[in-house]
């Protein structure tokens, strides 16, 4: 079932576990994720960045692919098709019109007033169509940012202001996590995370899930995180497996064999992630 994230994340918030948001890059990844999560009987959020959508041909191509796979593979778990870091209202509208069930509008590079204005417009369009909306406060950085910070952490005040003025369904407060591998130990502000969670009725999202040690993931979930985004981690285990396969099988040229040699690595890692997150249906 293709659904928005509202029910799965509210259940996660109540049950104190997290739903995995796994980024997809192509048909094979989507198939592996759907098959494995269906086997484990857990809900999943398929994250599609603007770059990945473009790579796969566009939002209509992605929706058609996901819907087709779900039908052909008899996928019965709740699946949310979600734009990851939509940079504009136009991107979100395009994805919603193509059949996405959820969007993240990331207007966090703007001042709070402008972030609110853009987010509010996206919420109005999305909610009329039953689509859920995630927004970002503060700014989640890239790999270098946990040592030379260009990332800015969220404050409770800004989170409340954004929530009260927009009606978003989930919020990603930047609290020290970064995208990609960490240089050194991730430094997450759990205290603020907990305070934001106590003051906001909506589920919280942790971006940059790759490389956060297990104990910190568990702590984040106990502080109210209900959705954790993972991208680099699956890319990393897949590419390692494929590299090994190519080194050991220099004569192989069938792309199905080459791409498929990373299947087990992705599926095994998903099982570890789901177990760590405590995800339930
Ligand atoms: P990682 O690539 O660090 O796992 O982050 C993924 C993410 O936050 C996507 O929004």
Q: Name the residue ranges covered by the structural domains of the chain.
A: 6-277
pLDDT per residue as tens digits for the range 208-251:
999 999 999 999 999 999 999 999 999 999 999 999 999 999 99
Check if CATH label 3.20.20.70 holds for domain 6-277. Answer: yes
What local confidence, expressed as pLDDT, does residue 144 receive? 53
What local confidence, expressed as pLDDT, does residue 156 receive? 97
8 A C-beta contact, residue 268 and residue 247:
no
What local confidence, expressed as pLDDT, does residue 146 receive? 53
At a CB cut-off of 8 Å and minimum separation 6, what does 115 contact?
107, 108, 135, 136, 137, 162
- Measured in Å, residue 251 CA sits from the centre of ligand 1 at 34
Is there a catalytic annotation at residue 169?
Answer: no
Mutate to test the pocket of ligand 1, among 180, 238, 273 (most ligand atoms within 8 A of CB): 180
What local confidence, expressed as pLDDT, does residue 62 receive? 99
Does the pTM of the predicted model rise above 0.75? Answer: yes
Please state, in angstroms and rounded to a whole number, the distance separating the CA atoms of residues 32 and 27. Answer: 9
In ligand 1, the atom with minimum distance to the C-alpha of 84 is 10
pLDDT along the chain (281 residues), means of 10: 97 98 98 98 98 98 98 98 98 98 96 97 98 94 56 93 98 94 92 98 97 98 98 98 98 98 98 98 92
Please state, in angstroms and rounded to a whole number, the distance separating the CA atoms of residues 39 and 56. Answer: 25
What local confidence, expressed as pLDDT, does residue 142 receive? 72
């Amino acid at each position: 079932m293709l659904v928005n994230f509202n029910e799965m994340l509210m259940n996660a918030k109540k049950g104190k576990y997290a739903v995995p948001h796994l980024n997809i890059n192509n048909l094979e990844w989507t198939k592996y994720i759907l098959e494995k999560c269906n086997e484990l009987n857990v809900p999943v959020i398929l994250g599609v960045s603007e770059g990945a959508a473009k790579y796969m041909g566009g939002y209509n191509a992605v929706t058609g692919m996901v819907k087709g796979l779900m039908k052909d593979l008899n996928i019965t778990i709740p699946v949310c098709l979600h734009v990851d870091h939509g940079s504009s209202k136009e991107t979100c509208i395009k994805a919603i019109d193509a059949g996405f069930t959820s969007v993240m509008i990331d207007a966090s590079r703007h001042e709070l007033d402008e972030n609110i204005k853009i987010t509010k417009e996206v919420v109005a369009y999305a909610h009329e169509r039953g689509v859920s909306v995630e927004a970002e406060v503060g700014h989640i950085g890239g790999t270098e940012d946990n040592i030379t910070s260009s990332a800015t952490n969220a404050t409770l005040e800004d989170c409340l202001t954004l929530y009260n003025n927009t009606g978003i369904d989930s919020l990603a407060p930047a609290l020290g996590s970064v995208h990609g591998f960490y240089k050194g130990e991730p430094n997450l502000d759990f205290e603020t995370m907990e305070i934001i969670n106590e003051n906001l009725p909506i589920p919280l999202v942790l971006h940059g899930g790759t490389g956060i040690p297990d104990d910190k993931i568990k702590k984040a979930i106990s502080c109210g995180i209900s959705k954790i985004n993972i991208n680099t981690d699956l890319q990393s285990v897949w590419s390692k497996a494929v590299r090994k396969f190519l080194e050991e099988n220099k004569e192989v040229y069938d792309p199905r064999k080459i791409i498929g040699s990373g299947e087990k690595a992705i599926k095994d890692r998903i099982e570890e992630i789901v177990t760590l997150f405590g995800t339930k249906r």
